């Protein structure tokens, strides 16, 4: 359901003016519109399936009926494919990127303000749909009022939460103080919503940066959760609720309203993108299949069979650029019996924000080097595995 960010309401169509705007611009027939969940929303779930979840359940995963509904809609798989479609330049997702029936985004992940805006809108669509279907979950899905500290996480997982470095804390303070700034101050730092979304998701305009808030949140405390289970994790929704709250702070500070036609049309667009991916029957990437529990290092190198997120700390010793411009970073983890580790990313990395000899924490997934299609990588990387970084943070 495409509603405002604050007040869930029963199923209804969009306002008449926006409804006419969309129908005329997209040439959707009346018969199609009547059945279109992107216009009228999803049918409310049966009352018998709704149970008030306990706090214990929410600390681990969302309620079972919520998971079952997402599975019926194929949301988990669709979300994975949407994310992969934004990382085609990595060479890991051929099935997605070469699909003739799939909807590819205008920009790749961290590539610019168009992607930044679509990132914000897609997650607001997900949140609003759930809050509309299950209003009783709104309290449980509420998020932190400020960027979370270790003690703000559930007690059961506090030991898994790593301290935030200075760059992340300074970025978080900038978000927490938006409501105290005037329009000019806000727009001087983030001229548009898309640039604000880009900054939240990636940090600087030059790609993935140590001050990026979203990857810091999404890789901290999530452990070895598989992609197919991300949407089942309560923490996933709490994190995205914080991102959405930050975006709404920006919108209010710049005089925007939740029901403006531009935003409503963008929500419809991202609903259609997700529904399109939900209908795709594409094979899974072999390297990203479910893996059994294996150690992070094997024979002194990264183990491509390692499952879950890997967190590697080390000093930058070398930077290489492949023929297509992709950056490869060699870091020294300074562990006995472990050789240098090579790191790259499916998105552009902000090398101006990093320096030789500096110590950084790279968090991401280990993939087999043979899965990368980057030309000259095999000339200098002598390792069966490489870290595909989703987050990079400074030590302090």
User: Rounded to whole angstroms, how far apart are CA atoms 22 and 6?
Assistant: 23
Supply the DSSP symbol for 289.
Answer: S
Q: How many domains does the chain have?
A: 2
Residue 329 lies in a domain: yes
Tens digit of pLDDT for each residue in 309-321?
899 999 999 998 8
Q: Determine how many CB atoms are found less than 10 A away from the CB of residue 24.
A: 9
Q: What is the pLDDT of residue 2?
A: 37
Using 50, 70 and 90 to split pLDDT, how confident is the model at 203? very high
Q: How confident is the model over 270-286, as pLDDT tens digits?
A: 999 999 999 987 876 54
Predicted TM-score (pTM) of the model is 0.86
DSSP-derived secondary structure letter, 349: B
Query: What element of type H or E holds 25?
Result: helix 16-26
**Considering the chain, what percentage of its residues have pLDDT values greater than 90?**
49
Judged by average pLDDT, the poorest of 110-114, 304-308, 379-383 is: 379-383
pLDDT of residue 3: 36
* Same domain membership, residue 389 and residue 336: yes
Cα–Cα distances in Å, from 269 out to 108, 259, 261, 266, 276?
A: 17, 15, 12, 5, 11
Q: Residue 51 above 60 pLDDT?
A: no
Q: Is the pLDDT of residue 209 over 70?
A: yes
Question: What pLDDT, on a 0 to 100 scale, did the predictor assign at position 287?
Answer: 45
| Residue corresponding to tokens 């790259």 | 344
- Please check whether residues 165 and 218 belong to one and the same domain: yes
* Residues paired with residue 321 on neighbouring β-strands, in sequence order: 327
Please compute the mean of the pLDDT values over residues 230-253 and round it to a whole number.
93
The reported pLDDT for the residue numbered 264 is 94
Helix, coil or strand: residue 222 = coil
Residue 103: per-residue pLDDT:
72
* Residue 166 sits in the same domain as residue 234: yes
* pLDDT for residue 58: 44
In a domain, 10, yes or no: no
Residue 288 belongs to some domain of the structure:
no
Average pLDDT for 125-142: 86
Of 278, 307, 334, at which residue does a domain stop?
278
Contact in structure between 210 and 392 (CB atoms under 8 Å): yes
Virtual torsion, Cα 21, 24, 28, 33, nearest 10 deg: 40
Q: Are residues 246 and 118 in the same domain?
A: yes
Q: Are residues 140 and 235 in the same domain?
A: yes
Higher pLDDT, 170 or 227: 170
Residues 157 and 216 in one domain: yes
Q: Is the pLDDT of residue 16 over 50?
A: no
Q: Which CATH number is 366's domain given?
A: 2.40.50.140
pLDDT at 181: 93
Give the pLDDT mean for 192-211: 92
Residues 166 and 263 in one domain: yes
CA dihedral 105, 94, 217, 70 (to 10 degrees): 80
| Polymer length of the chain | 396
Work out the angle between the directed axes of helices 261-278 and 16-26 (0-180°, nearest 10).
50
Instruction: Residue 233: count other Cβ atoms within 10 Å of its Cβ.
Output: 17
Packing angle, helices 113-133 and 75-85, rounded to 10: 170
Least trusted range by pLDDT, from 17-21, 40-44, 95-99, 263-267 = 17-21
Q: How far apart are the first and last CA of the chain?
A: 42
| 26 within a domain of the structure (yes/no) | no
| SS3 of 91-143 | CCCHHHHCCCCCCCCCCCCCCCHHHHHHHHHHHHHHHHHHHHHCHHHCCCCCC
Indicate whether 9 belongs to any domain: no
Q: Are residues 370 and 231 in the same domain?
A: no
**Apex CA 290: angle with CA 284 and CA 294, to 5°?**
145
- The pLDDT confidence band at residue 14, using thresholds 50, 70 and 90, is very low
Does 355 map to a domain? yes
Give the Å distances, CA to CA, from 71 to 74, 157, 360: 5, 26, 38
Give the domain extent around 205: 51-278
Q: Are residues 65 and 181 in the same domain?
A: yes
| Tens-digit pLDDT profile for residues 116-132 | 999 999 999 999 999 89
3-class state of residue 208 by DSSP = strand
Average pLDDT of the chain to the nearest whole number: 82
The domain boundary residue, chosen from 278, 308, 323: 278
**DSSP state, 367?**
E
Pairing of strands 310-321, 359-368: antiparallel
Residue 152 and residue 192 in one domain: yes
Q: Which residue has the tokens 């009547």?
A: 34
Comparing 378 with 335, the larger pLDDT belongs to: 335
Last residue of a domain, one of 244, 278, 312: 278
Task: Check pLDDT > 70 for residue 15.
Answer: no
Same domain for 301 and 267? no
Give percent above pLDDT 70 in the chain: 82
Question: Strand 327-332 vs strand 310-321: parallel, antiparallel, or unpaired?
Answer: antiparallel
- At 346-363, the pLDDT tens digits run 888 999 999 999 999 999
User: Is the model more confident about 230 or about 24?
Assistant: 230
* Residue range 67-80: mean pLDDT, rounded: 92
How far is the C-alpha of 152 from the C-alpha of 144, rounded, in Å? 8
Residue 24 lies in a domain: no
Query: What is the maximum span of the chain, computed from C-alpha positions, in angstroms?
Result: 67
**Does 268 lie in the same domain as 161?**
yes
Q: Is residue 127 in a domain?
A: yes
């Amino acid at each position: 359901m495409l509603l405002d960010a604050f007040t869930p309401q029963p199923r209804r169509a969009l306002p008449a003016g926006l409804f006419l705007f969309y129908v005329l611009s997209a040439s959707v027939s009346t018969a199609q519109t009547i059945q279109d969940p992107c216009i009228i929303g999803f049918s409310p779930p049966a009352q018998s399936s709704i149970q008030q979840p306990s706090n214990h359940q929410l600390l681990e995963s969302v309620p079972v009926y919520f998971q079952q509904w997402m599975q019926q809609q194929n949301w988990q798989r669709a979300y994975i494919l949407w994310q992969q479609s934004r990382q085609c330049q990595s060479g890991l997702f051929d099935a997605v990127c070469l699909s003739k029936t799939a909807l590819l985004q205008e920009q790749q992940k961290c590539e610019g303000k168009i992607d930044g805006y679509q990132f914000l809108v897609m997650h607001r669509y997900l949140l609003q749909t759930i809050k509309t279907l299950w209003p009783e979950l709104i309290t449980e899905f509420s998020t932190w009022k400020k960027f979370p500290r270790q003690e703000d996480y559930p007690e059961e997982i506090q030991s898994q939460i790593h301290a935030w470095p200075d760059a992340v804390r300074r970025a978080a303070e900038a978000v927490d103080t938006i409501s105290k700034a005037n329009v000019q101050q806000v727009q001087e730092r983030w001229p548009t919503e898309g640039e604000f979304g880009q900054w939240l998701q990636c940090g600087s305009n030059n790609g993935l940066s140590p001050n990026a808030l979203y990857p810091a949140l999404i890789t901290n405390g999530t452990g070895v959760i598989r992609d197919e289970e991300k949407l089942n994790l309560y923490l996933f929704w709490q994190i995205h609720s914080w991102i959405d709250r930050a975006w709404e702070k920006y919108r209010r500070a710049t005089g925007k309203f939740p029901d403006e036609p531009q935003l409503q049309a963008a929500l419809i667009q991202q609903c259609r993108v997700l529904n399109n991916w939900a209908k795709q029957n594409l094979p899974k990437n072999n390297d990203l299949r479910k893996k059994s529990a294996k150690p992070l290092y094997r024979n002194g190198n990264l183990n491509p069979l390692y499952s879950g997120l890997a967190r590697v700390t080390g000093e930058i010793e070398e930077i290489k650029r492949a023929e297509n411009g992709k950056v490869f970073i060699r870091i020294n983890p300074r562990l006995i019996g472990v050789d240098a580790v090579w790191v790259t990313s499916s998105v552009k990395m902000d090398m101006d924000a990093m320096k030789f000899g500096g110590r950084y924490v790279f968090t991401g997934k280990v993939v087999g080097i043979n899965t990368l299609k980057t030309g000259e990588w095999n000339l200098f990387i002598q390792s069966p595995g490489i870290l595909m970084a989703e987050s990079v943070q400074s030590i302090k």
